[in-house]
C-alpha cells in the first residue's frame, strides 16, 4: 500500500482546483526540471507545516547540510590552535598503536576509526562536554570503542597518562596497562561506559538519558545539568540494539540526549551501504522516530560551490551519488573527482574550473570541519523536546595517507612504515617537532607532548578547566547516600508462609513492596519489568508505586474503578518497559551504575521471564558487569519443569549455566522465601555497604508450597550458609545405610519425598542439603584447589563443599530444575560417590508431574539414583534397585530426554 492509496480515500471537495495545482506542478517539472519542482514542493510543505495544516511530515531532505551557512554561529575557539592540538593527538594515537604492534605482533588496535572521528571528538572536548569538577556529575559521554586510542592520546596531552602508560596499550597483565577498549572493569578510574560490543552503547545511552529524567522526575537527583552523548558507528547502526529503542527517546522527549553517528561510510569489511546512502537512510529512520536530525555532510570548501549551484545540478549530483562511489572518490585523486563527480555535466565542471586538482581533492567532509561541527553540536544542545542525532560524514582513516584512507582494509590496519609515518607527519604539519631521523627505519616513532607553557598546552588546560575537568573519568562520590534497611523489612519473609502455600516469586513481590515502603531505602528501589508484571503477580504494585510515565497519565484507565488499577505518573517508581528485555536491561544498567555515574546509589530489581534473560540479553548483562553494575536480576518462572505447560521456548533449565559464565554475577537458586530474603539482604550489604562491584541473579519459581520459616539460630550465621552456597537442611534419620541429597529451588519437594521413602521403605538415612549456589561453591573450591597446588608443602586445605560433605557417608545425589551441568560444576571436589539429576534437553508442555518424570528429577528418580549409587558401592543389593525401578514404573529402555529430540 502506498501513500496514494490513503489519499484516494479522502474526499476531493473541488476536483477542478486539484487539477489546476497538479497541472502546474507537472508543468514546472517538465519545463524547469525536476529539481525545481521538488524545491517548490518542499517549500510548499514547509509553509504547510508553518500553517499547522497537519500534512504528513517529510522524512528525508536533500543530501546537504541541515544547518544553512547563514545560521552557523561564530566559532568561539581558536581554530589554528585546536588543529595543532588535534595533530598531536592524531599522531600519538597512531604511534601508540604502531608501537604496540611492533613490540607485540598481533596485539591489535585500530587507527582508522579515530582518524575519522578525531575532529568530532575534539570539538566536544574543547567546547561542550562538562566534567565533574563543578559539583555535579557533568556529561555522560559514550565513546565508540574503537576510538579508544584517540581518547588515551588526549589523556596523554592533558598529562593524565605518561609514555609508559601508552606503551602498555593492550598490555594489561600485571596491572597498569591500557585496556583495548573502554572497560570500567579494567580501568575503573578512567572509563565509564563499555561500548565496544556494537549496539550496546547506543541502547544503553538512550536508557541512561531516560533514567536521568526518571531521577529528576522522582526528585531524587537534579540531572538537568547533564547531557548524554553517544558516538555511534554507521556500521554499528545495523545492530538491532542500536536503532531498536530510538522511538523511546522520541516518545519521551529526551532532549538531554545527543547522538553523533560517524558516517565514514565504511564498516569492517567494506562499505556500509555501497549501493545506497546510509545518511539518507538514517535520516528517515530517526525523523520517523521523532528525533531532530542534523546532517553534517559537507565542509566549508563546498559552501561557495553550493552557493553557485544555481541550477541545482550539484545538489542533484550529491543526491544521486551512492556511498560506494563517494568512497571511491575519497580514494582517488582530484583529477579523478573532477572527471567523475563534476565532469559529466558541463555546468558542474564549470563550478570547479577555478580549482586545482589538489583543491578538489581536499574538499572536506562535514565531519572533519571543526566550525561546522561546533554549529551542529550547538544546535543539538539547544533543541528542546526531542533528542538529536548528528549524521556526520567523514572519511575512514582520514589523514593516514593514500594507502589507508577509505581503503576497504582500513579498519584492520595497525602498522605503518617509516615512509607512511613521515607522510602522516607532513600531513599533520608536525615537521617542527618530529624530524626525519626520529622516525627512521627500525626506530620507535616518538610520542610528542605539547611543550609546557606553550599556547596549545595552555589552551587545552584552560578549555578543560572551564568545562569542569578531564574526561572520561569515573569517580564514586556518594553525592546522595542511601540508607540501608533494617532487618524488619525482611522479617515477614523470614517467618515463612504459615499455613498458606506461596512461591518464591510471590514472596519476592512481597519483599519488594516491603522494601519500597521502607523509609530508609524505599525511594531508591527501582522495580523494572518488561510487560510481565501480571505473570509474576506484581500488578498489585501498579497502583501503590505507579508506573513511571514521562508525560503522566493522559487517560482514565479502563480499570480505574478497581483498587489495583493501571496507574501511570510522572513520578512513578516502576519502570514498565514493555516487551523489550534489551531495553529493560539497559534501564537496569543505568540504575545499577548510578552510584558511579551520578553518585546516587539506586537499588534496581529487574524481574523477567528467566528464559528471556541471560539467553536473550546476555551481552547486555556482560556489559553491565563490565560497567560494575550493582543490583538484582530476577529470573522468574525459572525451571524446566516448574513452569508447566509453556513448553520449549519458555522453560528455562540453563540460565544458571549462562550466569556461571559472568565473573561478577552472584548466581543463586533459592528453594525458600527466607533464603531469597537472606540473599537480598546479603546482596544489599555487599554491594551498598561494602561497595563490592558484583550483582545478583536469583532464579525464582512459580510453584506454590509451604514456605518454611528460617531455621532457629543466629540470622547472620544462617545467612552466611545460604550466601556461601550450601547448608544442611535436615539431618539423616538413623539408619544402617546413609546418603546425602543436595537440592536446589523447587527440587526440594522431590528431595524431601525421597528422603521419607528411602527411610521408610529402604532403610536408607538421607541428609538433605540446600544448595543455593553451585557457582559460589565452585569458585571457592577452585580457589582452594589453586592454593593447594601453589603450596605443595603446606597442609592441604579443604574447600567448603568438600568439608561439608566429608562429614557424612555414602553417595551424594544432587537434584535441581536445571541442567546437570549446574551441580556438576562441583562434582570433582565431592569426597564421596557423586550423581546428579537435572533437566537436560528441550522443554515441552505438560504438567509438572509429567515433566519431572520425563526429565527424571521426581522423587522416584531421586530414590533410584541413591539406591543405584549404594548398589555400586556394594552397600545394598543391585536387585533392590531393579525392584525400585519396576515399582516406580520407570522405563529403563526409554532414551534419555536430551537424546529424544535430536
Ligand atoms: C557486536 C559486535 N560485532 C562485531 C564487532 C566487530 N567489529 C568491530 S569494529 C567493526 C566495524 C565497525 O564499523 P562502524 O560501526 O562503521 O565503525 P567505524 O570504525 O567505521 O567508525 C566490527 C564489525 C563488535 N565489536 N561488536
Ligand atoms: Mg563506519
Question: What confidence category does residue 441 fall into, taking pLDDT thresholds of 50, 70 and 90?
Answer: confident
Distance 257 CA to ligand 2 centre (A): 21
Tell me what the mean pLDDT of segment 428-447 comes to. Answer: 93
Q: Which atom of ligand 1 is nearest to the CA of 268?
A: 11
Distance 586 CA to ligand 1 centre (A): 20
Ligand 1: residue of 196, 233, 620 to mutate (most ligand atoms within 8 A of CB) is 233
Average pLDDT, the chain: 96
- Strands of the sheet containing 695-699, edge to edge, are 575-576, 525-529, 603-609, 632-636, 695-699, 665-668
User: Which residue, by CA, sits nearest to atom 22 of ligand 1?
Assistant: 268
What is the Cα–Cα distance from 325 to 328, expressed in whole angstroms? 5
Ligand 1: residue of 121, 267, 327 to mutate (most ligand atoms within 8 A of CB) is 267
Q: What is the pLDDT of residues 590-620, one digit of tens each?
A: 999 999 999 999 999 999 999 999 999 999 9
Inform me whether the pLDDT recorded for 898 exceeds 80.
yes
pLDDT at site 272: 98
Inform me whether the pLDDT recorded for 46 exceeds 90.
no
Inform me whether the pLDDT recorded for 5 exceeds 80.
no
pLDDT at site 405: 93
User: Which ligand is in closest contact with the Cα of 114?
Assistant: 1
A 10 A CB-CB count for 555 gives 8
Give the H/E segment covering residue 124: helix 112-127
Q: What is the pLDDT of residues 621-668, one digit of tens each?
A: 999 999 999 999 999 999 999 999 999 999 999 999 999 999 999 999
Q: What is the pLDDT of residues 555-572, one digit of tens each?
A: 999 999 988 899 999 999
Q: What is the pLDDT of residues 143-188, one digit of tens each?
A: 999 999 999 999 999 999 999 999 999 999 988 899 999 999 999 9
Q: What is the pLDDT of residues 302-354, one digit of tens each?
A: 999 999 999 889 999 999 999 999 999 999 999 999 999 998 899 999 999 99
- Residues touching ligand 1 (Cβ under 6 Å) are 113, 116, 144, 146, 196-198, 233-236, 262, 264, 266-268, 272, 396, 411
Q: Which atom of ligand 1 is nearest to the CA of 113?
A: 19
Inform me whether the pLDDT recorded for 3 exceeds 70.
no
User: Which ligand is in closest contact with the Cα of 263?
Assistant: 2
Tell me what the mean pLDDT of segment 892-897 comes to. Answer: 94
Ligand 1: residue of 109, 179, 266, 268 to mutate (most ligand atoms within 8 A of CB) is 268
Question: What confidence category does residue 451 fall into, taking pLDDT thresholds of 50, 70 and 90?
Answer: very high
Inform me whether the pLDDT recorded for 502 exceeds 70.
yes
User: Which residue, by CA, sits nearest to atom 13 of ligand 1?
Assistant: 267
Contact 88, 432 (CB under 8 A): no
Which spans in 763-858 are helix H?
Answer: 774-790, 800-806, 821-824, 848-855
pLDDT at site 902: 82
User: Which ligand is in closest contact with the Cα of 622?
Assistant: 1
Question: Which residues have C-beta within 8 Å of that of residue 472, sequence separation ≥ 6?
Answer: 141, 143, 151, 182, 190, 191, 192
User: Which ligand is in closest contact with the Cα of 265?
Assistant: 2
User: Which residue, by CA, sits nearest to atom 19 of ligand 1?
Assistant: 113
A 10 A CB-CB count for 792 gives 7
Go through the chain and tell me how many residues it has: 902
pLDDT at site 1: 61
879 HSE (CA, 13 A, CB side): 0
pLDDT at site 55: 80
Cell output for 371: 566550525
Q: What is the pLDDT of residues 732-762, one digit of tens each?
A: 999 999 999 999 999 999 999 999 999 999 9
pLDDT at site 457: 97
Inform me whether the pLDDT recorded for 91 exceeds 70.
yes
pLDDT at site 10: 84
Distance 630 CA to ligand 1 centre (A): 28
pLDDT at site 101: 92
Q: What percent of the chain has pLDDT over 70?
A: 100
Ligand 1: residue of 198, 259, 262, 391 to mutate (most ligand atoms within 8 A of CB) is 198
Question: What confidence category does residue 404 fall into, taking pLDDT thresholds of 50, 70 and 90?
Answer: very high
Tell me what the mean pLDDT of segment 19-29 comes to. Answer: 95
Cell 565508540 locates to: 144
User: Which residue, by CA, sits nearest to atom 8 of ligand 1?
Assistant: 268
DSSP conformational letter for 501: E
pLDDT at site 36: 87
Q: Which atom of ligand 1 is nearest to the CA of 196?
A: 25
Crossing angle between the packed helical segments 455-466 and 79-103, to the nearest 10 degrees? 100
Q: pTM for the whole thing?
A: 0.96
Question: What confidence category does residue 819 fall into, taking pLDDT thresholds of 50, 70 and 90?
Answer: very high
Contact 549, 627 (CB under 8 A): no
Inform me whether the pLDDT recorded for 2 exceeds 70.
no
CA Rg value for the chain:
33
Cell output for 801: 563443599
What is the Cα–Cα distance from 363 to 386, expressed in whole angstroms? 32
Distance 268 CA to ligand 1 centre (A): 6
Q: What is the pLDDT of residues 855-885, one digit of tens each?
A: 999 999 999 999 999 999 999 999 999 999 9
Ligand 1: residue of 411, 618, 623 to mutate (most ligand atoms within 8 A of CB) is 411
Distance 274 CA to ligand 2 centre (A): 12
User: Which residue, by CA, sits nearest to atom 23 of ligand 1?
Assistant: 268
Q: What is the pLDDT of residues 199-235, one digit of tens each?
A: 999 999 999 999 999 999 999 999 999 999 999 999 9
Q: Which atom of ligand 1 is nearest to the CA of 619?
A: 1
Phi, psi of 696 (to 5 degrees): -115, 140
Amino acid at each position: 500500500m502506498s501513500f496514494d492509496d490513503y489519499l484516494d480515500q479522502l474526499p476531493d471537495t473541488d476536483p477542478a482546483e486539484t487539477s489546476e495545482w497538479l497541472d502546474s506542478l507537472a508543468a514546472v517539472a517538465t519545463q524547469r526540471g525536476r529539481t525545481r519542482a521538488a524545491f517548490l514542493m518542499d517549500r510548499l510543505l514547509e509553509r504547510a507545516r508553518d500553517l499547522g495544516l497537519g500534512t504528513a511530515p517529510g522524512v528525508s531532505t536533500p543530501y546537504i547540510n541541515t544547518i544553512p551557512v547563514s545560521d552557523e554561529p561564530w566559532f568561539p575557539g581558536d581554530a589554528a590552535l585546536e588543529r595543532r592540538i588535534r595533530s598531536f593527538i592524531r599522531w600519538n594515537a597512531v604511534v601508540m598503536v604502531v608501537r604496540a604492534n611492533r613490540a607485540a605482533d598481533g596485539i591489535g588496535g585500530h587507527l582508522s576509526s579515530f582518524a575519522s572521528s578525531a575532529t568530532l571528538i575534539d570539538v566536544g572536548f574543547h567546547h561542550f562536554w562538562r566534567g565533574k569538577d563543578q559539583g555535579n556529575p557533568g556529561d555522560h559521554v559514550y565513546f565508540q570503542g574503537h576510538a579508544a586510542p584517540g581518547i588515551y592520546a588526549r589523556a596523554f596531552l592533558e598529562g593524565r597518562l605518561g609514555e609508559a602508560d601508552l606503551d602498555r596499550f593492550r598490555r594489561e597483565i600485571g596491572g597498569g596497562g591500557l585496556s583495548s577498549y573502554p572497560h570500567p572493569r579494567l580501568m575503573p578510574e578512567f572509563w565509564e561506559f563499555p561500548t565496544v560490543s556494537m549496539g550496546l552503547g547506543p541502547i544503553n545511552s538512550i536508557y541512561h538519558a531516560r533514567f536521568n529524567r526518571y531521577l529528576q522526575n522522582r526528585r531524587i537527583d537534579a540531572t538537568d545539568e547533564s547531557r548524554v552523548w553517544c558516538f555511534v558507528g554507521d556500521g554499528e547502526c545495523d545492530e538491532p540494539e542500536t536503532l531498536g529503542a530510538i522511538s523511546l527517546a522520541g516518545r519521551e522527549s529526551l532532549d538531554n540526549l545527543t547522538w553523533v553517528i560517524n558516517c565514514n561510510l565504511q564498516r569492517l569489511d567494506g562499505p556500509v551501504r555501497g549501493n545506497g546512502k546510509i545518511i539518507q537512510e538514517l535520516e528517515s529512520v530517526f525523523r520517523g522516530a521523532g528525533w531532530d536530525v542534523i546532517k553534517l555532510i559537507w565542509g566549508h570548501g563546498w559552501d561557495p560551490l553550493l552557493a553557485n549551484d544555481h541550477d541545482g545540478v550539484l545538489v542533484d549530483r550529491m543526491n544521486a551519488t551512492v556511498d560506494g562511489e563517494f568512497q571511491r572518490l575519497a580514494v582517488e585523486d582530484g583529477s579523478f573527482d573532477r572527471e567523475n563527480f563534476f565532469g559529466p555535466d558541463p555546468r558542474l565542471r564549470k563550478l570547479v574550473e577555478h580549482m586545482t586538482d589538489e583543491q578538489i581533492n581536499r574538499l572536506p567532509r562535514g565531519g572533519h570541519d571543526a566550525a561546522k561541527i561546533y554549529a551542529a553540536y550547538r544546535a543539538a544542545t539547544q533543541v528542546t523536546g526531542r533528542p538529536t542525532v548528528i549524521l556526520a560524514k567523514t572519511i575512514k582513516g582520514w589523514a593516514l595517507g593514500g594507502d589507508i584512507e577509505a581503503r576497504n582494509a582500513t579498519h584492520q590496519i595497525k602498522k605503518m612504515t617509516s615512509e607512511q609515518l613521515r607522510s602522516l607527519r607532513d600531513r599533520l604539519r608536525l615537521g617542527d617537532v618530529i624530524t626525519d631521523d626520529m622516525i627512521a627505519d627500525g626506530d620507535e616513532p616518538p610520542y610528542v607532548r605539547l611543550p609546557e607553557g606553550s599556547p596549545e598546552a595552555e589552551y587545552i588546560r584552560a578549555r578543560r578547566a572551564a568545562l569542569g575537568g578531564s574526561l572520561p573519568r569515573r569517580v564514586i562520590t556518594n553525592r546522595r547516600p542511601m540508607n540501608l534497611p533494617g532487618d524488619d523489612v525482611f522479617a515477614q519473609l523470614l517467618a515463612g508462609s504459615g499455613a498458606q502455600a506461596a512461591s518464591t516469586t510471590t514472596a519476592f513481590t512481597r519483599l519488594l513492596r516491603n522494601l519500597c515502603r521502607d523509609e530508609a531505602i524505599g525511594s531508591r528501589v527501582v522495580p523494572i519489568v518488561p510487560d510481565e508484571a501480571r505473570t509474576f503477580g506484581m500488578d498489585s504494585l501498579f497502583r501503590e508505586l505507579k508506573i513511571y510515565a514521562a508525560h503522566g497519565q493522559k487517560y482514565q484507565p479502563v480499570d480505574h474503578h478497581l483498587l489495583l488499577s493501571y496507574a501511570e505518573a510522572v513520578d512513578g517508581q516502576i519502570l514498565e518497559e514493555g516487551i523489550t528485555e534489551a531495553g529493560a536491561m539497559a534501564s537496569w544498567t543505568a540504575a545499577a551504575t548510578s552510584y558511579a555515574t551520578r553518585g546516587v546509589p539506586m537499588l534496581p530489581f529487574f524481574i523477567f521471564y528467566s528464559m528471556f534473560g541471560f539467553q536473550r540479553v546476555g551481552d547486555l548483562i556482560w556489559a553491565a558487569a563490565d560497567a560494575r553494575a550493582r543490583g538484582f536480576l530476577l529470573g522468574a518462572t525459572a525451571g524446566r519443569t516448574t513452569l508447566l505447560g509453556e513448553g520449549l521456548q519458555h522453560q528455562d533449565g540453563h540460565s544458571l549455566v549462562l550466569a556461571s559464565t559472568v565473573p561478577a554475577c552472584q548466581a543463586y537458586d533459592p528453594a525458600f522465601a527466607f533464603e531469597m530474603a537472606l540473599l537480598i539482604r546479603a546482596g544489599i550489604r555487599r554491594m551498598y555497604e561494602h561497595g563490592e562491584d558484583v550483582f545478583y541473579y536469583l532464579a525464582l519459581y512459580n510453584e506454590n508450597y509451604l514456605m518454611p520459616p528460617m531455621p532457629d539460630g543466629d540470622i547472620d550465621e544462617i545467612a552466611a550458609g545460604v550466601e556461601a552456597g550450601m547448608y544442611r537442611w535436615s539431618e539423616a534419620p538413623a539408619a544402617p545405610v546413609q546418603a546425602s541429597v543436595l537440592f536446589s529451588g523447587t527440587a526440594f519437594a522431590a528431595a524431601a519425598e525421597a528422603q521419607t521413602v528411602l527411610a521408610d521403605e529402604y532403610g536408607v538415612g538421607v541428609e538433605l542439603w540446600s544448595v543455593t549456589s553451585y557457582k559460589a561453591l565452585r569458585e571457592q573450591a577452585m580457589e582452594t584447589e589453586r592454593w593447594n597446588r601453589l603450596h605443595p608443602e603446606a597442609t592441604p586445605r579443604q574447600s567448603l563443599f568438600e568439608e561439608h560433605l566429608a562429614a557424612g557417608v555414602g553417595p551424594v545425589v544432587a537434584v535441581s530444575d536445571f541442567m546437570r551441568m549446574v551441580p556438576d560444576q562441583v562434582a570433582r571436589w565431592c569426597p564421596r560417590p557423586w550423581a546428579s539429576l537435572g533437566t537436560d534437553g528441550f522443554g515441552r508442555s505438560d504438567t509438572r508431574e509429567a515433566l519431572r518424570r520425563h526429565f527424571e528429577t521426581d522423587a522416584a528418580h531421586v530414590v533410584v539414583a541413591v539406591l543405584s549409587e549404594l548398589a555400586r558401592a556394594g552397600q545394598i543389593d543391585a536387585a533392590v534397585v531393579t525392584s525400585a525401578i519396576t515399582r516406580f514404573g520407570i522405563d529403563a529402555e526409554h532414551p534419555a530426554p536430551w537424546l529424544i529430540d535430536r
